[in-house]
């Protein structure tokens, strides 16, 4: 018993010592890694975080404290441009993070790298990020892990920060927010991993500097049309089964018309079509489905918004399915067709992701092309991950 108590005490000490190391790294890097460039200030900010996984299914594994550290490169966009005025002189950057997920034997650790956008508010800062993440353990390493089915995943982040003066040149920044990791239904199981976190960092006061501009944001409403073609990857099954199924492609196209407001905010509506190879093969191999005269396509009405930041676009879309006849047969096999969730997932598609434009959107080009990466969902449940090539024409 004494040996067991000693081992337990050593584990607790080791855990607390790891937090001391995090704090020392935080202080040292913050003090030494600050640089300035012409026009826009640049900063390297370390941050420690602590939180908890939020279970999203019954009988999920037990877990402890989620802890980690990140390093964020920020560019404080203070130049007097239309884009910076529209976003209230935002922070742009990229963040690298390493996190212990609360139960190493089941979830392992997570490493992510994501572009981030910080929007300054009257009090505080709202930060949004999306990017790739790597999980050291998946279902294959531990069958209790129904949240993560693949090593490579998507990661999303929403954070709110408040800063407090602790010296003439430094602020203590405290944040709280939400993180989500998922592979977009490309490999099952895929409940996804949600977590609530609190973070602490020490930042230079210059990071919070904004500009009181005397120039008004130019008002405009420019019509545009856009077309895209995409290819996605989809594993046939529900959120958890069957495990190890074959992955097949989803081909999609859409056409939309809309308006650009103030040169940086797009609203649009249109129509789209998807062809699921899994659905097509299921119909081909089933005489019963062939007699029902159903097809493997999904026709839908879409409506979306997009925020333009130089070469980058952040887009969110929703819509209504006009026709998706095979979904009932899919749900009958893998899900419950009598629930309200089934009705919502059958009716409402959604889509979220990033676009990278060839020409800087702030230059208002007549023609532009982009590549994009999106997660597509049935209501809120991941359906497939997709890469697209698109074209935009501004009238």
Which sequence spans correspond to the domains of the chain?
14-208, 221-394
pLDDT at 15 over 70: no
pLDDT at 238 over 50: yes
What pLDDT score was predicted for residue 57?
A: 83
pTM: 0.86
Distance from the Cα of residue 290 to its chain's centroid? 38
- Tokens of residue 60, six digits: 């999920």
Q: Residue 30: phi, psi to the nearest 5? A: -60, -40
Contact 219, 262 (CB under 8 A): yes
Average of per-residue pLDDT across 343-372: 96
Least confident of 65-69, 154-158, 169-173, 212-216: 212-216
Taking each helix axis from N to C end, the angle separating 277-284 and 326-334, rounded to the nearest 10 degrees, works out to 80
Scanning the structure block, which residue is given the tokens 């012409």?
Answer: 38
The alpha-carbon radius of gyration of the chain (Å, integer) is: 24
- Average pLDDT of the chain? 88
> pLDDT tens-digit profile of 20-50?
555 555 555 545 554 443 345 889 999 999 9
Identical fold for domains 14-208 and 221-394, yes or no, is: yes
Closest by CA position to 267, among listed 313, 217, 230: 313
- For the chain, percent of residues with pLDDT exceeding 90: 67
Scanning the structure block, which residue is given the tokens 């309200």?
Answer: 340
pLDDT at 7 over 60: no
Burial of residue 261 (CB within 10 Å: 0-12, 13-18, 19+) is middle
Q: Give Cα separations from 277 to 44, 233, 299 (angstroms).
A: 46, 10, 15
Contact 135, 107 (CB under 8 A): yes
Q: Cα(376)–Cα(382) distance, rounded to whole angstroms?
A: 6
What pLDDT score was predicted for residue 13?
A: 45
Q: Cα(113)–Cα(97) distance, rounded to whole angstroms?
A: 7
Q: pLDDT band at 210, cuts 50/70/90? A: confident
Q: Cα(51)–Cα(49) distance, rounded to whole angstroms?
A: 7
Average of per-residue pLDDT across 244-263: 94
Scanning the structure block, which residue is given the tokens 């998946």?
Answer: 138
Q: pLDDT band at 99, cuts 50/70/90? A: very high
What pLDDT score was predicted for residue 14?
A: 47
Q: pLDDT band at 10, cuts 50/70/90? A: very low
Average of per-residue pLDDT across 101-113: 91
Q: Where are the beta strands (DSSP E) in 183-263?
A: 193-204, 221-235, 247-261
Element (H, E) at 165: strand 152-165
Look up residue 61 and give its DSSP letter.
Answer: P
- Tokens of residue 17, six digits: 């010592």
What pLDDT score was predicted for residue 82?
A: 87
Q: Cα(248)–Cα(285) distance, rounded to whole angstroms?
A: 15
Burial of residue 47 (CB within 10 Å: 0-12, 13-18, 19+) is buried
CATH (residue range 221-394): 2.40.160.20
pLDDT at 377 over 90: yes
Q: Which fold has domain 14-208?
A: Porin (2.40.160)
More confident residue, 16 or 338: 338
What pLDDT score was predicted for residue 38?
A: 38
């Amino acid at each position: 018993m004494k040996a067991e108590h000693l081992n337990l005490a050593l584990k607790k000490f080791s855990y607390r010592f790891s937090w001391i190391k995090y704090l020392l790294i935080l202080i040292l890097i913050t003090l030494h890694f600050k640089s300035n460039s012409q026009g826009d200030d640049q900063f390297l900010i370390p941050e420690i975080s602590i939180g908890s996984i939020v279970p999203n299914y019954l009988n999920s594994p037990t877990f402890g404290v989620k802890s980690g550290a990140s390093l964020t490169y920020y560019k404080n966009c203070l130049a007097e441009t239309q884009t910076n005025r529209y976003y209230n002189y935002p922070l742009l950057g990229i963040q690298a993070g390493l996190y212990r997920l609360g139960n190493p034997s089941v979830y392992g650790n997570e490493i992510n790298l994501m572009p981030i956008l910080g929007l300054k508010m009257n009090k505080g800062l709202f930060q949004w990020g999306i990017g790739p993440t790597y999980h050291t353990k998946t279902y294959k390493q531990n069958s209790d892990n129904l949240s993560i089915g693949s090593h490579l995943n998507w990661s999303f982040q929403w954070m709110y920060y408040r800063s407090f003066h602790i010296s003439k040149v430094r602020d203590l920044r405290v944040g709280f927010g939400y993180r989500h990791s998922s592979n977009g239904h490309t490999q099952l199981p895929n409940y996804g991993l949600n977590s609530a976190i609190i973070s602490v960092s020490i930042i230079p006061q210059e990071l919070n500097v904004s500009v009181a501009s005397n120039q008004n944001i130019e008002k405009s409403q420019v019509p545009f049309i856009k077309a895209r073609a995409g290819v996605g990857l989809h594993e046939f099954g529900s959120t958890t089964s069957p495990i190890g199924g074959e992955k097949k492609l989803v081909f999609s196209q859409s056409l939309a018309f809309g308006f650009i407001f103030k040169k940086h905010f797009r609203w649009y509506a249109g129509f789209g079509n998807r062809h699921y190879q899994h659905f097509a093969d299921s119909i081909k191999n089933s005489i019963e489905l062939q007699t029902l005269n159903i097809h493997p396509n999904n026709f839908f009405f879409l409506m979306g918004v997009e925020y333009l930041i130089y070469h980058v676009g952040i887009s969110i879309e929703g819509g209504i399915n006009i026709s998706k006849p095979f979904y009932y047969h899919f749900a009958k096999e893998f899900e419950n067709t009598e629930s309200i969730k089934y009705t919502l997932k059958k009716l409402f598609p959604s889509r979220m992701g990033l676009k990278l434009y060839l020409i800087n959107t702030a230059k208002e080009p007549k023609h532009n092309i982009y590549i994009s990466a999106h997660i597509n969902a049935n209501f809120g449940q991941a359906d497939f991950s997709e890469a697209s090539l698109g074209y935009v024409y501004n009238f």
